[in-house]
A and B are shown apart, each in its own frame.
Chain A
């Protein structure tokens, strides 16, 4: 079997697991970190799908800027999501 397909399956699964964790996590800071890990997995997926242009824009935005923006916002509101 093609190594690319195996790696694609692996990184997609990692992305899926961390998406689930980000959704159910009540501590918003942890949720942002899970979301960033999911983005890192997707960076690998996009690279394997041969989209280096998207990788270059996705990496700083989804791993650097977006979590930072959300963390700043959490800093201005509440850290834990209430029921």
Chain B
């Protein structure tokens, strides 16, 4: 009986939504036209004519994420950083075993995974480095690279992290380097202001109405869009190794964790 009620409600909801969006033309009411705010972002993302407002990046989403709404993203990164600190706090005192004899999955899966990992790394790096030109960016690239941590843990067993040279402390250090690099890019204009006296603002990317400060927009005629490429690369480090830390801890066997944490934490 309960099953039929659930099915009926799903069918009913779907039909009502389909009716609203097609015959009642709700999408038409909301408007398929580009809205004013979207138009503004799309016009300004790459616009050398609007010198004081543009980001000089053809990727509108990255422009919004790291320039127009840059402080939002900065704090999101901080929240992610804190969340992983919480995970580390739960697992405090657990040493990561360097050598253990675990077998992992079959040879076929291992070979296929070995072929996939370099492709995965290449895609992740290119998504991060092209984040200001094509869809993607630091977080997307970080999440793509983090999949490797799952593959290593599941296919080759948890002991494989040590074999490829990734340790818990290294991963923690690299993600901290990522966050510090973001903070460094944020504070460069302020330091520049203190040293030269030229007006510059926190997290400034390109020239503003009353400030001529600008990050280099090109390297050897290649567009790097000022701060965007640095933010993307730093976020890539922070996110990917943040996920690495979590999955390294999660892949530990429960009995090993309990043994190391002692009985008072063991239940």
Binding site for B on A (CB under 8 A): 9, 13, 16, 20, 24, 52-53, 55-57, 59-61, 64-65, 68-69, 72-73, 75-76
**Distance to closest chain A CB from B119 (angstroms):** 13
How many A-B residue pairs lie within 8 Å, measured between CB atoms? 56
Main secondary structure of the interface of B (DSSP, over half): helix
Does B40 interact with chain A (Cβ within 8 Å)? no
Binding site for A on B (CB under 8 A): 3, 6-7, 10, 14, 18, 61-62, 127, 135-137, 139-140, 143-144, 146-147, 150, 153-154, 243, 246-247, 250-251, 254
Asked if A20 and B10 sit within 8 Å, CB to CB, the answer is yes
Contacts of B127 in A (CB 8 A): 56
Main secondary structure of the interface of A (DSSP, over half): helix
Please, could you name 23 A-B residue pairs with CB atoms under 8 Å apart, sorted by A?
A13-B14, A20-B7, A53-B61, A53-B62, A53-B137, A53-B140, A57-B139, A60-B140, A60-B143, A60-B146, A61-B143, A64-B143, A64-B150, A65-B146, A65-B243, A68-B150, A68-B153, A68-B154, A68-B247, A72-B250, A72-B251, A73-B250, A75-B254
Contacts of B3 in A (CB 8 A): 24
Closest 9 CB pairs of A and B: A52-B135, A56-B140, A60-B143, A68-B150, A64-B147, A72-B250, A53-B61, A57-B140, A76-B254
Inter-chain pairs besides A13-B14, A53-B135, 15 sampled, C-beta below 8 Å? A16-B10, A16-B14, A20-B6, A53-B137, A56-B127, A57-B143, A60-B143, A60-B144, A60-B147, A65-B146, A65-B150, A65-B243, A68-B247, A72-B247, A72-B250
Contacts of A52 in B (CB 8 A): 135-136
**Distance to closest chain B CB from A8 (angstroms):** 10
User: Within the assembled complex, what's the spacing in Å between the Cα atoms of A24 and B137?
Assistant: 36
